[in-house]
Chain A
Amino acid sequence: MLPLVVAGGVVTVIMGFILVVLLISWFSNPPFGLGNAPPQPVAFPHTVHVADNNIQCEFCHRNVTKGEAATVPAVESCLFCHQEIDGGSSTTSANSQAEIQKVRDAFDSETPIDWERVHRLPDHVRFIHESHIRYFTDDDPTKKYGINGEELKETLDVALTCTICHGDVGNKTVVQPKTGQSLKMGTCLDCHRNNNVPTDCTVCHK
């Protein structure tokens, strides 16, 4: 009798453990910070560029209004500004000077910076940035709705459209996937249903 009780207890513990792991991985996104992006080769602060200096998203992510991928800018684009701007001369900005020097070195040695990808969709999903930005920045009179079903009163600009999914990236020093929406399929479907746009599988999966 005793061995049976022990075996039953062991099975219960194992099943409970599996259940807990599954629940955590489903409801916390990402679980235990496992989904965080690895550290970037250059500590790029979005706060300085966007919040302090008011640079628009599409100034660097140039392809976002033109095609599928938003694209990370080439080193040459950084040098538009940073061949003049060197991050200040005080001792507090020594760190940012060092980071800017990394970018200049990369330009001089003609090696692209190996940025770590933060938002990664599975291979079977096709997402087009351009058509989503075109929809929300369009000034036609039809009403538009956000992900949570709230009505968007005025026409958005490109930067505000980005924050719908990506969150307030402009005020984040380090961008992580959990900065914005979870980018699960339910998030996409909610927004598509709110705006009454097609939800056929082949719109995204093909």
Chain B
Amino acid sequence: MVTTNKIKHKWGMVVDLDRCTGCQACVIACQAENNIPINTKDYFQQRRAYEWIRIERYWEGEFPNVKAKFIPILCQHCENAPCEPVCPVFATYHNDEGMNVQVYNRCIGTRYCSVNCPYSARMFNYWQPNWPDSLRNQLNPDVTVRTRGIMEKCTFCVQRLRRGEVNVEQRGIEPLTGEKITGERKLNYRQMQEGNYLPACVQSCPTNALQFADQYDETGPVKERFDEANEIVEKRHHGEHIDENHTRTYRLFEEVGASPNLIYLKKVEPFPLEKRPR
């Protein structure tokens, strides 16, 4: 047998809440990239809207002294994902690149996973997806159109990862050094250059609030943040005191223990609401 020398990846995202302006560009980009059906007012009122990434908005203070806070929430691709063990047919599992994968053709629609997800990141297809005729040709051919009765969620745009891998393999050159790849390395060449693979939401973010890279990549933009977050978890585990003002890094619902592959950076408040100059 051929020996694989696959380069290991572990994908991760950092969401900087200080930069997020709540513009919803990521929501639209995700909708267009992943063949998500068009939500109507009716869908929202029934709380059955399809949103793989959503911006939650919180108000702070009393009128007229109010301030809006935004937080983008998507599938957290947890390491100890609560959705995975409850699936009776193994339609959701963790792959070796740190992604929580939903296999549509295995799913039988029990909805246990969406009940067990602490982030409400999973959407169930209650209806057959329907697009107006004018939009039929804009469907992404790389993404399956999900039928009625199955669960779906953010995939970290895995179709873009596979497309990027094919592009790297086709050119047959090392992305970083420009050398020609030969022999066995060529067979399982899986290294992705930074920027070869970005999810649609990250690519569309106008303020770079979302950052996406390999956690193992020493020069990448997210490694430092993940190291910091893991250190805090370690300290908390040993009961050490953590200065909350010292670090901005946190994971959503850390007490649940799902250890997501997403990290949020706290919003910095140079002027707290009551001391803000009028």
Contact = CB atoms under 8 A, between A and B. Distances in A.
B273 interface: no
Q: Describe B's contact surface by its main secondary structure.
A: loop
Contacts of A123: 144-145
A206 B95 contact: no
B143 interface: yes
A195 interface: yes
Given A142-B2, A195-B2, A201-B103, 6 more contacts: A140-B182, A140-B183, A142-B183, A196-B188, A202-B101, A206-B142
10 contacts: A128-B166, A131-B169, A140-B186, A142-B184, A198-B188, A201-B103, A202-B95, A203-B162, A205-B144, A206-B159
A74 to B, nearest CB: 20
Contacts of A49: none
B23 interface: no
A197 B189 CA distance: 10
Interface string A187-206: 00000000111101111011
Please indicate which of the listed interface residues B2, B6, B169, B183 has the most CB atoms of chain A within 10 Å of its own CB. Answer: B2
B42 to A, nearest CB: 27
A130 interface: yes
Contact of B169 (A134, A143, A196, A206): A134
B2 A122 contact: no
B99 interface: yes
A186 interface: no
A200 B184 contact: no
B115 to A, nearest CB: 23
Which 5 residue pairs across A and B have the least CB separation, nearest first? A206-B159, A124-B144, A196-B2, A202-B158, A124-B105
Contacts of B191: none
Nearest to A196: B2
Nearest to B95: A200
A138 interface: yes
Contacts of B184: 140, 142
B2 A202 contact: no
B1 A196 contact: yes
Contact of B170 (A124, A134, A205): A134
B187 interface: yes
Contacts of A141: 183
Given A128-B166, A202-B158, A206-B159, A143 B187 contact: no
A62 B52 CA distance: 38
B96 interface: yes
Contacts of A206: 142-144, 155, 158-159, 162
Contacts of B70: none
Interface in B135-157: 142-145, 155
A126 interface: yes
A142 B184 CA distance: 6
A142 B93 CA distance: 32
Nearest to A126: B142
Contacts of A195: 2
A104 B188 CA distance: 46
Contacts of A122: 105
Interface string B208-252: 000000000000000000000000000000000000000000000
B278 to A, nearest CB: 52
Contacts of A203: 162
Contacts of A138: 186
Contacts of A130: 166, 170
Contacts of A202: 95, 99, 101, 155, 158, 161-162
Contacts of A140: 182-184, 186-187
B46 interface: no
